[in-house]
Structure 1
Amino acid sequence: MKFVTRAQWRARPSRYALTHIRGTRGVKIHYEGTAVPASLARPENHPKCAARMRALQASHLANTAENYSDIAYNALVCPHGYVYEGRGAHKKTGANGTATLNSAHYAVCAMLGNSGLTKPTDAQLAGLRDAVEWLRDSGGAGHEIRGHRDGYPTACPGGPLYAWVKQGALRPGGSNPEPPRKYEPFPGVGWFKSAPRSPIVTAMGRRLVAEGCSAYTEGPGPQWTDADRASFRKWQRKLGDAPEYGDGWPGPQQWAALKVPSA
């Protein structure tokens, strides 16, 4: 998953505390519903996607009718397949239409519109699947994948994207929406204390970011650093481990709970 944190796209703080939820029945897929330039999908225009995130958040914060506390979606996916953290996991969305609907499903929005860029790219569809699986792994989302229009009177997420949802929300070129997941076995605390340089460290860091346990100012990357240890300490505290087990050095049960994907 190509994941972009709130810090990385320079999100503004929420206006007030977001409502914590333990999980949902699943995820609803959205689109922007206004004009999105077709040129946004060009590879050279990916740098504009972070600016679009900031503009979307600003427009939501300025919406006095809805009184949004933040950008309405839990995650957004650009045409290049990057997953941008919106409200994030375990936060009630503001996008599904009513308080009941917002509690029942997370909201993931594709950067698509009702004119201009209206058809999702293959990279975007893969990113939408990444976002759904992230919310399942990190946010307790159930198995349902639906469109915004399912249960609420709206054209969202548009014809092309809704057709993909109705066809099973498959990854491009795939027939199985739930490929087997493989997780990295615990390499031992001594391995981490040797200051390794490995893709495993990068994968661990990305999972920590997804769990809201980031102490990174940049990265994560393959080299084990003090930032990795500080981030893992946050994970230990999130698990509620006793202080003597919260020293930032991974243990086998803490590692298993983090579900670091195998390369």
Structure 2
Amino acid sequence: MTSGRLLRGAIGAAGFLAVAELVFRFGLGDNVDFPPPSVVLYQAALVLADPEFLAGVGQTLTNWALGLLAAVAVGVTAGVLLGALSPVERAIRPLLEFLRPIPSVAIIPLAILLIPDDGMMKISVIVYASIWPILINTLYGMREVDPLAKESLRSFGFGPLAVLVRVSLPSAAPFVATGVRIAAGIALILAVSAELLAGGTAGIGVFVIQAGSGNRTDLILAATFWAGAIGLIANAVLLAGERRLFRWHKIRTGMVES
């Protein structure tokens, strides 16, 4: 079934590109200066031989990975603590609900003013944006722990820490994995957005700025294509790992694929 979905997706993407090619070449007229998909894909292949672009991709991925790892460490820890301490969670829930809807891109100008180091500023913005799905999913996972399993362990004399390690954390792990997968896409968006707004010496966003200054729409779209491809690959890798590690959870919830 997975291969069938991939095939249908590939056919759909190819059909969309073919239609877009015809529209951009013959349907928009001479007054619209926009490259067709064939030109964009050609430039996307060429930039793979550009050391400046590859260095920019490496810088973006470095910021993305560091920000995501920090968000996982903070988000999971905070989610486990708040999930285990219900009174504390209820006390700070209003603050969380106030901060969570704030658009992450909107805090980039503030971060530029408050954090002088360019790399730290970008990583901090990534952490702020991507921590929320991890924290919320961890909290949700902690709430879904089977109370009977916890009580059974307590009846055998195990303390709160042992119950947390042996029951709560394994039960919440699939929810945490889903939060991390969602956060990975958000982190990539913020990694590029921070480069677009703050500039810098390297990065996919910096490459886009430089291409825009030269009115190179084809290079802008080529860089955008690779940003999307990186996000797609990251999501596929994390999803495959999630399915392999937590197949028992899919079976238990009736979500396993045939």
Query: Which is greater in Rg?
Result: 2
What's the TM-score, normalizing by structure 1? 0.24
Q: Which structure: greater strand fraction? A: 1
Between the two structures, name the one with larger relative contact order (CA 8 Å, sep ≥ 6): 2
What's the TM-score, normalizing by structure 2? 0.24
Q: Which structure: greater helix fraction? A: 2
